[in-house]
Structure 1
Amino acid sequence: MSAPARVVYTLQELAVALGLPYRGDAALQFRAMAPLSSAQEDELSFLQDSKYLPLLAQTRAGALILSPEHAEQYDGAAIWSENPYASFAQAMQFLYPEKALTPWRSPDARIAADADVDPSARVEDFVQIGSGAKIGPGVWLESGVVIGPGVEIGAACHLYPGVKVLAESRIAEHCIIHSNAVIGADGFGFAQTEAGYEKIPQVGRVILGARVEIGANTCIDRGALADTILGDGVKIDNLVQIGHNVVIGADTVIAGQTGIAGSTRIGCRCRIGGQVGFAGHLNIADGTVIAGQSAITHDIRQAGVYSGVIPAQDARTWRRTIAQLNRLDGILRRLRGAAKAAHDSSST
């Protein structure tokens, strides 16, 4: 898919569209956004982080989106926002609008006779839609998408080339799934026997809420018995593995290369960094923040910011190391107490 076409806005039009106050020439025109360091006179930029304040004296941007506090340190044209980063995201949507969807069914698409495809949907070359599938209004299936039997996709979803949505999965409205993601493959379920591993049929589904976005090459496994569920507004980066029966609460965001083992439940509004590893059958509290490359092996019952990982050791040594680390705080308190007592006795 090509980049969205640019649309020209005046400073006044953009400020009104954002619902924000501004200063400067109302007729200034902008057709793009750019970083502070490289923006030109016909481009808009923004400042969120105070560490970039020195760039205010150097930027050539025609206008900036910045906080009222930072606006006091800048004399040029500006739009004031209490959350410049969020306003930047909204401005990008105005300046780079999505291309209007043109309904179409490619003659090279293979659509089962009993599939229900809304006439307003766009079905591109080599798409396959299985028996009993339902494709809602305004859905865009780019080339090579595979929709399995019994799948339901809600209104205005956009599936990029090569996405696979497998049997009986449910996707609510306004979801975006990027190239080569796989939704609804079998979970990793095997029972060990003397003869090897016995496969456990995976008979649950994947259910995605509204406004979910899934990154490229991410895999979300179907449930074993219960369903794998992602709540409304969840955002998943590229190359994330979500195991069977995982439940992720609304508005949680997860960065790339994170792996979530089966039956873990992650709360609402959590923020999870890249390469985080979750053991299975865990419960993570609403609002939890987890730093990148953390290893989560126990429940997190109280929201907060969590981080930490220890390089692999043999299991017995690792357990002993963790036990010793957990005792360090008490040992340090006793040492400080002993040092203070020694100091007090020497000064009397």
Structure 2
Amino acid sequence: MTGKGYLLGELAVVAGAELRGDPAYRIRALAPLETAGSGDLTFYQDARLRGRLMANQAGAVILTPAAAQTFPGQCLLTANPYAAFARVMQYLYPPLVPRPGLHHTAQLARDAQIDPSARVDAYVQVGAGAVVAAEVWLEAGTFIGAAVEVGRGSHLYPGVKVYAGCKLGAHCILHAGAVIGADGFGFAEADGQFLKIPQVGRVRIGDNVEIGANTCIDRGVLDDTCIEDGVKMDNLVQIGHNVRIGAHSVIAGQTGIAGSTRIGRHCRIGGQVGITGHIEIADGCVIAGQSAVTHSLRRAGIYSGVIPAQEVSRWRRIAARFDGLDLLFRRVRRLERGAGENLSTNGESSDRE
């Protein structure tokens, strides 16, 4: 931020929020609710932090109209404080715009197409027939394979590897160490050995996708692995071959998705989730962290659950009985209620005698 700061009225417009306070008040920094002081802007959205809201000394707080009813300080009022805060942060801390140019150590195939406005840093390799669009930034040590397409304004951090034939959309962000298009885990067993199945599909990534550090997305066997627009992945996520992830879904770290699974749009998948292959997850599903998903989820909802590994025949017996547990519970409850009524009746008879 600049030394003079920003007018609160200006930030209200950026946030798309209604101002309650002095539009000429200067905001000099953004800060967490716990430490914000005079001249700072913060946000409040979690009702569990109500005490901190009332005690804070921030210059202004972004919060909902309902929460502001008992808050006496300056406010930016909006239905979604976190999103409004994100807009302000983007405004105050815009992404770096790299200076175009090719580092002298970069290795570029003769027929690679590099837009003049792109930046290619030290020791980058770009293969034959690759296309690097306008305003792309390839940081040091990135590898772009043959016939890869990198869309406009995308930013690949150091050490990203994009294998041959893969396609990245516009304004994607790939963090350090991400690997796009490695072979899927495809083997056929024969005579006690495993025969490798050639993985001849690609990975196709839509626009505005962000992929975390050391995340791996495998190429398809015959068809492509597809990541649709707006998907966000955390670090250390594994996406198997021929997976399709619907637009604007988010996936937290250390999640693994096995091959040929279809994830719907606007899904939210927590950390360390394991999803088996060849199943479908409906649009709008929320899967809690450390859950094990072993069958299709065909309706939107919130899902959770994991049981430690055990001997497979025992596990299958237990799993087969899960569906009957609710029916068994209701039958037991009816029996208990019936027994209670009988005991009550018998007690009254004994008293009369």
TM-score (norm 1): 0.96
- Structure 1 residues 271 and 6, CA gap change in structure 2 (3 angstroms): farther
- Alignment RMSD (CA, Å): 1.4
- Find 1:267's aligned residue among 257, 264, 267: 264
1:200-251 CA-partner distances (Å, limit 9, x unpaired): 1100000001111000000000001110001111111100000000000011
1:87-106 equivalent positions in 2, closer than 5 A: 87-106=84-103
- Find 2:12's aligned residue among 11, 15, 32: 15
**Once the two structures are aligned, what percentage of the paired residues are identical?**
56
Unaligned runs of 5+ in 2: 346-353
* Residues 150 and 169, structure 1, Cα contact 8 Å, conserved in 2: yes
Partners in 2 of 1:6 and 1:200 — Cα distance? 60
- Find 1:163's aligned residue among 160, 163, 166: 160
1:58 Cα deviation from its structure 2 partner = 1.8
- Structure 1 residues 101 and 289, CA gap change in structure 2 (3 angstroms): same
- Kindly provide the amino acid, as one letter, of the partner of residue 271 in structure 2: G
1:23 Cα deviation from its structure 2 partner = 1.7
- Kindly provide the amino acid, as one letter, of the partner of residue 259 in structure 1: G
| Equivalent residue, structure 2, for 1:290 | 287
Partners in 2 of 1:5 and 1:246 — Cα distance? 45
| Equivalent residue, structure 2, for 1:187 | 184
| Equivalent residue, structure 2, for 1:317 | 314
**283-292 or 57-66, larger mean C-alpha shift:** 57-66
**Which SS does the other structure have where 1:39 is aligned?**
coil
**Which SS does the other structure have where 1:76 is aligned?**
coil
* Residues 7 and 94, structure 1, Cα contact 8 Å, conserved in 2: no
1:346 Cα deviation from its structure 2 partner = 3.8
**1:326 and 2:323 aligned:** yes
Indicate the structure (1 or 2) with the bigger Cα radius of gyration. 2
**150-159 or 335-344, larger mean C-alpha shift:** 335-344
Q: How many residues align?
A: 345
1:185-212 CA-partner distances (Å, limit 9, x unpaired): 0100111111511111100000001111
* Residues 14 and 87, structure 2, Cα contact 8 Å, conserved in 1: no
- Kindly provide the amino acid, as one letter, of the partner of residue 218 in structure 2: D
Unaligned runs of 5+ in 1: none
**217-226 or 35-44, larger mean C-alpha shift:** 35-44
1:33 Cα deviation from its structure 2 partner = 1.4
1:1-348 equivalent positions in 2, closer than 5 A: 8-194=5-191, 196-348=193-345
1:125 Cα deviation from its structure 2 partner = 0.8
Partners in 1 of 2:224 and 2:71 — Cα distance? 53
**Which SS does the other structure have where 1:303 is aligned?**
coil
Partners in 2 of 1:141 and 1:9 — Cα distance? 33
- Structure 1 residues 192 and 6, CA gap change in structure 2 (3 angstroms): farther
Partners in 2 of 1:264 and 1:79 — Cα distance? 43
* Residues 16 and 78, structure 2, Cα contact 8 Å, conserved in 1: no
1:94-137 CA-partner distances (Å, limit 9, x unpaired): 11111223111111111111000100111111111000000011
